[in-house]
Structure 1
């Protein structure tokens, strides 16, 4: 088999895989509703009657949100590990992870999204925690 025949065969395999994937999107119900995706695509000037494409955008958005959330979790764990290191003499009673805007901002920055929040934003690990359970 020469090089052009291999490229043609490979392209055919890729086309078949893409067709199969697009067909599977018809049976898949993404976390993000089709109507919401259509709304935001419409706001950006994109109109498409093909449900498969709408769902492909929904799946890509879902993946992006999951990646950002995972990265924000890693930033949160690293920040809280640094706090525990600073307070070696105190036993940390509460093992809950508290995601802050700082964690989310750092994760989004890695994807080229800059988030600025107002100065009055309540962004403290103790925000919303009952004062009797706070470690002071």
Structure 2
């Protein structure tokens, strides 16, 4: 089998996987409602009648929010652990985590930097 034949077989497999994934989105109910995604897409000037694409955007948005929330939680835990060390009070009565805007801001900055790095890598690959 030559390289071109392998490449086309791989592309066919990728196309099949993508088609199956998009078809599965028809049966999936995302956390973010279709109407909300459609509203913000329309607000940005994007109209799409395909529900599968709307749900794909919803899934990507949900993943982004989950990553930011997880990062913010880690920031919160690190900050509160530092406060306990500073106070030298190991018997803290209130062990609740208090998420602050600072925690969220740091998480968003980190996520934004990661997104920019990914975009710049893709841009470099396309330019080559």
Q: TM-score, normalised by structure 2?
A: 0.85
How big is each residue's C-alpha offset from its partner over 1:42-99, in whole Å with a ceiling of 9 and x where there is no partner?
0000000000000000000000000000000000000001001111145211111110
Residue in structure 2 matched with residue 52 of structure 1 by the alignment: 52
Residue in structure 1 matched with residue 22 of structure 2 by the alignment: 22
Give the length in aligned residue pairs: 113
| Match runs of 1:102-113 below 5 Å | 102-112=102-112
| Match runs of 1:112-123 below 5 Å | 112=112
Unpaired runs of at least 5, structure 2: 114-128
Unpaired runs of at least 5, structure 1: 114-136
Residue in structure 2 matched with residue 72 of structure 1 by the alignment: 72
Q: Secondary structure at the match of 1:45?
A: coil
How large is the RMSD of aligned CA atoms in angstroms? 1.1
Give the deviation of 1:112 after TM superposition: 2.5
4+ residue runs over 6 A deviation = none
How far apart are the structure 2 equivalents of 1:65 and 1:42? 20
Higher relative contact order (CA 8 A, sep 6+): 2
Q: 1:55 to 1:89 in 2, by over 3 A?
A: closer
Q: TM-score, normalised by structure 1?
A: 0.80
